[in-house]
Structure 1
Amino acid sequence: MSPLSQQTQVRPHDRPRDRHFAFCLPFGAQVQGASQGQPSTRFRFWAPSCETVQVVFEGDAQATPPLTMTPTGNGWFEAQAPCGPGTLYRYDIGNGTRVPDPASRFQPQGVHGPSEVLDPRAYAWRHAQWQGRPWEETVIYELHVGAMGGYRGVMARLPALKELGVTAIELMPLSSFPGERGWGYDGVLPYAPHAAYGTPDELKELVDTAHGLGLQMFLDVVYNHFGPDGNWLGQYAKPFFRADIKTPWGDALDFERLEVRDYFSDNALYWLNEYRFDGLRLDAVHAINNPGWLRELADHVKARVEPGRHVHLVLENEHNEANLLETHFNAQWNDDVHHCFHVMLTGESEGYYRGFTESPIRKLARALGEGFVYQGDPSPVHDGKPRGEPSGHLPPTAFVSFLQNHDQIGNRAFGDRLRALADDDALRAATAMLLLSPQIPLLFMDEEYGSTQPFQFFTAYTGDLADAVREGRRREFAHFSAFNDAETRARIPDPNAQQTFVNSSPPPAEAPVEGERREWMHFYKSALCVRAHLLMPRLHHAKALGATVLADDTANAQAALVARWRLGDGAILTIALNLGHHDVPLDTQPEGMVIFETPGRARDRADAGTLPESACIAWLTGDVREYSSEHDARIAHREEPHA
């Protein structure tokens, strides 16, 4: 462990018996002595490209003269100032250039404004004893905080999400980015939650409220690049980057440097220990291209959160590196599953769907039975090069599956929801497989209402950067057949337009749920109720037994399979899925009780030896009643108010 990392270990008074939490960062502004009424703040800043640095105070503290920082070696500068929470400051790196703190805890005026000194222990947690939930109990609901009305807007929806059967809320990235609105993947200050969504204490209240309802809170974090506007690191810390490796976002981050590794490792611990998130989703780690650091990060997390807490780490990784899921990470987003379903539901075959158009039902069978589709196989999307590693030895819970998420909707030219592209009956059948498979399901906001509202790519850039993003977005689709002329591409929504954000924001929490929205919600709720009562208690040590293809004729719209899993208690879960437009023979009747079916009365046809078109039927062996009552008791105990 590095000397810097040693300074950030969890201290005794940060453990759950306390109601106040702070992660002591080895850099940035750290309040000292605030509780004694004589606050002072330590400033620590890594600027190896600078000879001198000053702390410059602004706002109410601007009468305080700039404070010259003391160099302490290896590019580090330190200073102690008689100031406390609420102080606004920047670093003067020379030539009149003033920059925000790269470890700023809050940017109340945005990424180009001053940083604010905060006392993280000012918030008193109401549910400080919350220890999280086992990974097998996870049902993820991904959402965009801004589109949901900020932290307060998300908080208002928590009771309904709990009632739906969701057990984990995953927030798209919160790190400060330029402008009021954006997806968050262009963040430049990873420690400062975006000011447009609310204050840091309001974010803590959101997490606290979720915990009081028995809900986990996950956060999407971006450690592979910084955004194009507001990142000053290159001017005072050039060694943070590698000039010899270029990425789509500029020079690559140098994860061989201790300071870079610590900067992001401490960020993960900061969100988990100070904001009490229950898990992190690491965006596009294939762009980091440093598995050694990923393992180091996971080791730090496991060693430095309080004993007994359930903390989960999830990867997005195009490389399908199964070895990372064996000991260090709970799961990976399984794009392979999504692509199989999407090809069968929509018939699309361009872009990365090219790798899934040949026998998609067989590829889905492999994904359900072994995890990844590509396990070292040549991929047409990767110029025929091998992709992935063998994954059949991993438990099904090592894979997060989905039919929709922010990428798969928002990266489409018009942000089309899957329901706008697919047949409703087939979509319900695919959804049933998603929600009842032992793989961990993920829903995207408003999906549970059968939403057809788009989720489009939006930003709030201005000037030349706005023009570049708008035109770059339209050029991305030039190689797709539907957008091969400039006139068609010009209709792609402008990411910077306010209306693009409005188009992507779901109805408010208080909007009535009626008609087909209510019907879809009931469908999702019913399937998740079955998962909660009959499957969750049995998922630990579950093992896939493989999947048998019943029909595979893409030209004639025939696609059906039967998948089986042995659950932790030895019970067998069997799910038959037909996404084709024709009935198929079901020669062998699965054992057990039917626990879910779509459409209604599909089991009658199955009993007669036929799996209807657009159908999904699940059977389970074992004592269903015993596990239902046991699960009810566990949930009731978990949701008791915490001291």
Structure 2
Amino acid sequence: MTHWGPELREGADTRFRLWAPDRDAVTLEIDGAPSVPMTRDGDGWFTAEAAAVPGTRYRFRLDADLVVPDPASRLQSGGVHGWSVVIDPAFAWSATEWRGRLWEETVLLEVHAGVLGGFAGIRDRLPAIAASGITAIELMPVNAFGGTRNWGYDGVLPYAVAEPYGSPAELKTLVDTAHGLGLSVFLDVVYNHFGPDGNYLNAYAGAFFHPEVDTPWGGAVAVDADPVHRFFVDNALMWLRDYRIDGLRFDAVHAIANDGFLDRMAHEIRAALPERHIHLVLENEKNDAERLTPGGYDAQWNDDFHNVLHVLLTGETSAYYSDFADRPAERLARCLKEGFIYQGEGSPNHDGAPRGKPSADLPSTAFVAFLQNHDQVGNRAMGERLIRLTDRERLRAATALLLLGPQIPLLFMGEDEGSDSPFLFFTDFHDDLADAVREGRRREFAKFDAFADPEARARIPDPNAVATFEASVPEPGQAAGEWRALYRQLLGLRHAHIVPRLQGTTGLSADVTGAAAVKARWRMADGAILTIRIDLGDTPAAIGGNEQGELIFREGDRFAAWITS
């Protein structure tokens, strides 16, 4: 089985590999040294050994007019069109005893390295994050992309750390520092597509894709082909082994459309790292409960939780929110009790096609819940956060539901400081590609009522403008102190009352108690009953104090939670 990427050998030699089945000849070019013809085997793998110590720059020449980086480059010099760099994976780790944290302890904070000052900027924030009660940071993708700034999901070299964020050693220092503070580190990885700038695979390995299988980004990745399978599984293992990342979130796996690949990948990862708490999380529009099994994936991002609460908090029902516009309180009740809202029912936003599978038998921890994330903010035309779209009292109640409910909570950077900074879709493309991305972005929002008019769409920020990136840096809101205090209080209660009882928690009941009100109950690991009541209506009724057990938190007439032993 052939693996991708450079391999340091004894002495000063390095073995280089490239899968280029569409080419008869490939030459290895090393900066400052003679070129080396590579040897081709019958499966299309080219190999060569050459003197190359860490720091050596190299690339592959396909013909007189085309030279490409290593698709498994660990570091680039001069961007995704430049030289690949040999690195030494060794690192002097400090938190040598770290094995990770239990999944039930997880409270995630999603962060973007670019807007937070790179790996060093995030590292400086870690003590405050740990002190707040958050137990894990989740890095949006950190792999190399075209240009100097990108919102995260246009990467083209999955193995290479993005130069604008810092070096591989700086990323390892960030992870090591987090572990020393008791924080886990998760990473978003994108295996469903490559970005539009700097992807050369079709020039020498057309079999990397299935052009006949349509996705929003072109032909589907051919994960059924062994070299492609190895490319992605070895990438996952690299982040987990070399960088000691604790968990991976796999972006939009519904676009991969190959459950067998997903299952094999999870099995290989589990088998390779049995001694550590490794957590694997899916984003999967299909709501496929069958992937969330022991030995497979720990959880799925629960978009249903976000979407129905967004409707209740804002009244927005355009585009994909139309799936949740009808009977939102009833839908929220199902979400709290059973996880997914769509479990095989027809989805209006998917032309009535059924979506999802039954999920009521899954534990509540099989779902990652959130009120905001990069998609649900960054995919808005103007990047508004919820704090601009609803009132304080409703938002506080929804926050309490998120942090005291039994699903695994995820926060978006700045959320815990009441930030009202937008998070916009930003890129650094040029010429025709920049025009296509800008105009495509504006066309995308024509289906939303607020942007049906062309003049309204013209006000959508240009993704390629530096100002769009700069506006996305999260600044604390005017009431930052109030929001920090709320999050600290709720997370303290979560760790005291919820986390110790969380493993195996399942829904008991969930009832609609008003137009936008729900009462839900869960049985926890020690037999205790968690009861939550929430009312997001215009004129909430009194929550009432007639529940059995200990009242652990109350937010006016909008939210209350009890534990009954």
Q: TM-score, normalised by structure 2?
A: 0.98
What is the match of residue 241 of structure 1? 209
Offset of residue 136 of structure 1: 0.3
Offset of residue 308 of structure 1: 2.4
Does structure 1 residue 378 correspond to structure 2 residue 342?
no
Does structure 1 residue 618 correspond to structure 2 residue 550?
no
Does structure 1 residue 313 correspond to structure 2 residue 254?
no
What is the match of residue 67 of structure 1? 36
What is the match of residue 203 of structure 1? 171
Are the counterparts in 1 of residues 364 and 504 from structure 2 also a CA contact under 8 Å?
A: no
1:359-378 aligned at under 5 Å gives the runs: 359-378=327-346
Whole-angstrom CA distance in 2 between matches of 1:115 and 1:463: 25
Are the counterparts in 1 of residues 175 and 245 from structure 2 also a CA contact under 8 Å?
A: yes
What is the match of residue 637 of structure 1? none
What is the match of residue 323 of structure 1? 290
Whole-angstrom CA distance in 2 between matches of 1:170 and 1:273: 17
What is the match of residue 532 of structure 2? 575
Pick aligned residue for 1:76 from 3, 26, 45: 45
What is the match of residue 273 of structure 1? 241
Are the counterparts in 2 of residues 592 and 621 from structure 1 also a CA contact under 8 Å?
A: yes
Whole-angstrom CA distance in 1 between matches of 2:407 and 2:216: 32
Are the counterparts in 2 of residues 370 and 546 from structure 1 also a CA contact under 8 Å?
A: no
Are the counterparts in 2 of residues 321 and 389 from structure 1 also a CA contact under 8 Å?
A: yes
What is the match of residue 77 of structure 2? 108
SS in 1 for 2:447: coil
User: Structure 1 runs of 4+ off > 6 angstroms?
Assistant: none
Offset of residue 581 of structure 1: 2.0
What is the match of residue 154 of structure 2? 186
Offset of residue 164 of structure 1: 1.0
What is the match of residue 102 of structure 2? 134
Are the counterparts in 1 of residues 543 and 560 from structure 2 also a CA contact under 8 Å?
A: no
What is the match of residue 282 of structure 1? 250
Change (3 A) 1:480 1:130: same
Pick aligned residue for 2:479 from 493, 512, 516: 516
Does structure 1 residue 48 correspond to structure 2 residue 21?
yes
Offset of residue 32 of structure 1: 1.6
SS in 1 for 2:340: coil
Does structure 1 residue 357 correspond to structure 2 residue 334?
no
1:413-562 aligned at under 5 Å gives the runs: 413-507=381-475, 516-552=479-515, 559-562=516-519
Are the counterparts in 1 of residues 406 and 502 from structure 2 also a CA contact under 8 Å?
A: yes
Amino acid at match of 2:537: G
Pick aligned residue for 1:250 from 218, 230, 240: 218
Whole-angstrom CA distance in 1 between matches of 2:61 and 2:427: 29
SS in 1 for 2:109: strand
Are the counterparts in 2 of residues 147 and 504 from structure 1 also a CA contact under 8 Å?
A: yes
Are the counterparts in 2 of residues 550 and 584 from structure 1 also a CA contact under 8 Å?
A: no
Whole-angstrom CA distance in 2 between matches of 1:458 and 1:384: 33
Whole-angstrom CA distance in 2 between matches of 1:304 and 1:320: 27
Offset of residue 80 of structure 1: 0.8
Does structure 1 residue 94 correspond to structure 2 residue 56?
no
What is the match of residue 11 of structure 1? none
Amino acid at match of 1:318: E
Whole-angstrom CA distance in 2 between matches of 1:569 and 1:372: 25
Change (3 A) 1:174 1:488: same
SS in 2 for 1:477: helix
Moved more, 68-77 or 429-438: 68-77
SS in 1 for 2:479: helix
SS in 1 for 2:491: helix
RMSD across aligned positions (CA): 1.2
Percent of aligned pairs with the same amino acid? 54
Are the counterparts in 2 of residues 176 and 184 from structure 1 also a CA contact under 8 Å?
A: no
Whole-angstrom CA distance in 1 between matches of 2:215 and 2:288: 21
What is the match of residue 607 of structure 1? none
Whole-angstrom CA distance in 2 between matches of 1:321 and 1:528: 30
Amino acid at match of 1:44: R
What is the match of residue 379 of structure 2? 411
Deviations 1:535-583 (A, max 9, x none): 111101212112111112xxxxxx1111111111111111111111223
SS in 2 for 1:264: helix
Q: TM-score, normalised by structure 1?
A: 0.86
Amino acid at match of 1:213: L
SS in 1 for 2:323: helix
1:209-248 aligned at under 5 Å gives the runs: 209-248=177-216
SS in 1 for 2:330: helix
SS in 1 for 2:425: coil
Are the counterparts in 2 of residues 320 and 389 from structure 1 also a CA contact under 8 Å?
A: yes
Aligned residues: 564
Whole-angstrom CA distance in 2 between matches of 1:449 and 1:595: 23
SS in 2 for 1:355: helix
What is the match of residue 555 of structure 2? 598
Offset of residue 587 of structure 1: 7.6
- Which structure has the bigger radius of gyration? 1
SS in 2 for 1:276: coil
Are the counterparts in 2 of residues 167 and 214 from structure 1 also a CA contact under 8 Å?
A: yes
